[in-house]
Amino acid sequence: MAVKANTKRNNVLPGFNLSLGFTLAYLGIVVLIPISTIFFKTFTLTWPQFWAAVASPRTIAAYRLSFGASIAGALVNSVFGFIVAWSLVRYEFPGKSLIDVMVDLPFALPTSVAGITLTAIYASNGWIGRYLAPLGIKVAYAPLGVAVALTFVGLPFVVRTIQPVLEDLDQEYEEAAATLGASRLQTFVLVIAPALIPALLTGFALAFARALGEYGSVVFISGNMPMHTEVVPLLIMSKLEQFDYAGATAIAVVMLTVSFVILFGINVLQRWSSRRLAA
C-alpha cells in the first residue's frame, strides 16, 4: 500500500523523463561505452595471446606484490584504523577535531603528491627512513615501500566505516554486561567486537580494493623494478607505453573482474551490516 501511495504522490512531480533520459545518456557516453571497449578489445585477442599476458612470470610477480602489499596495507589499516575510530568516538583529547578532519587527507591529496612525499620521508636519508636504515629496514624502493603507500591511500576507509557504527552503538549493552559482572575485556570481546565485525570487514575490503588499483602514490616509492617492486597498475602502464595494447588489455580485464567481485562482496557485506544494525 505504501508503494502505491508513493507512486501516486510522485506523479505530481515533473521532469521524470528529462532527468532519467539525461542520466542514462550521460552514463552511457561517459561510463558504459568506454568500459565496453575493453571487453570488445579482449575478444579480439587469441587465447595464447591472452594467456601469455596474464600468466607471464613478470605478471605473476606483479599480482603477488599487488595482492600481498594491498592485504598488508588493509590489515594495518584495520588494526590502527579501529584504534583511531575508537579514540575519536569514545575519548576526549586535545586536537581531536583536527584529527577527525585530517583522517580524510588521503582522499583529498593528489596521489602524485602523496607519492613523492612518502618517498622523501621514507628514503634512507629521509626524516623517518634515516632511523630505519641503520636497522637494516629499507622502505623506499623496496616492497615495504609499496605497502607503506598502500596503507596511506587506504587509511580513511576503515576509520570512516567503523566510526558511525561505533557512534550508534548503544552503550546500554555494555552497562548490562558490566552489571552482570563481566570485565571490560570480556565486554569488549563478547559484546562490542561482534557488533563491529561487519563494518570492519567492509572497511578492510574498501581499503583493499582501493590499494589494488593504486598507481600514483606507488610509482615513486616502489622504484618500479620488474619482478621485484612492480605492481599491476604499473605493469599495465609500462605495457601501454610500449604500445602493447593487447597485453595491457588482458591484464586490465583480470583486474577489472577482481574489482567487480570485490565490489559485489562489499555490497553483500553492507546489506548484512545494515540488517544487523536494524535487528
**Interaction with other proteins in 45-74: which residues (CB under 8 A)?**
none
**What is the rounded CA–CA span in Å between residue 171 and residue 177?**
10
**What is the rounded CA–CA span in Å between residue 215 and residue 102?**
22
Of 61 and 119, CB closest to other proteins: 119
Enumerate the H helices of 169-244 as residue ranges: 172-179, 184-187, 193-213, 216-222, 232-241
Residue whose C-alpha cell reads 596511506 in the numeric block: 152
Interacting residue with other proteins among 52, 56, 68, 86 (CB under 8 A): 86
Distance of CA 63 to the CA centre of its chain: 16
Establish if 195 lies at the interface with other proteins (CB under 8 A): no
Find the part of the chain contacting other proteins (CB under 8 A) among 49-57, 129-137, 138-146, 177-185: 177-185
Find the part of the chain contacting other proteins (CB under 8 A) among 11-19, 50-58, 133-141, 221-229: 11-19
Find the part of the chain contacting other proteins (CB under 8 A) among 47-55, 151-159, 193-201, 221-229: 151-159
Establish if 125 lies at the interface with other proteins (CB under 8 A): no
Per CB under 8 A, which of residues 97..116 are in contact with other proteins?
99-114, 116
Burial of 1 (C-beta count, 10 Å sphere; 0-12/13-18/19+): exposed
Establish if 252 lies at the interface with other proteins (CB under 8 A): yes
Q: What per-residue string of b and e applies to 243-254 under the rule 16 or more CB within 10 Å gives b?
A: eeebbbbbbbbb
Establish if 143 lies at the interface with other proteins (CB under 8 A): no
Establish if 177 lies at the interface with other proteins (CB under 8 A): yes
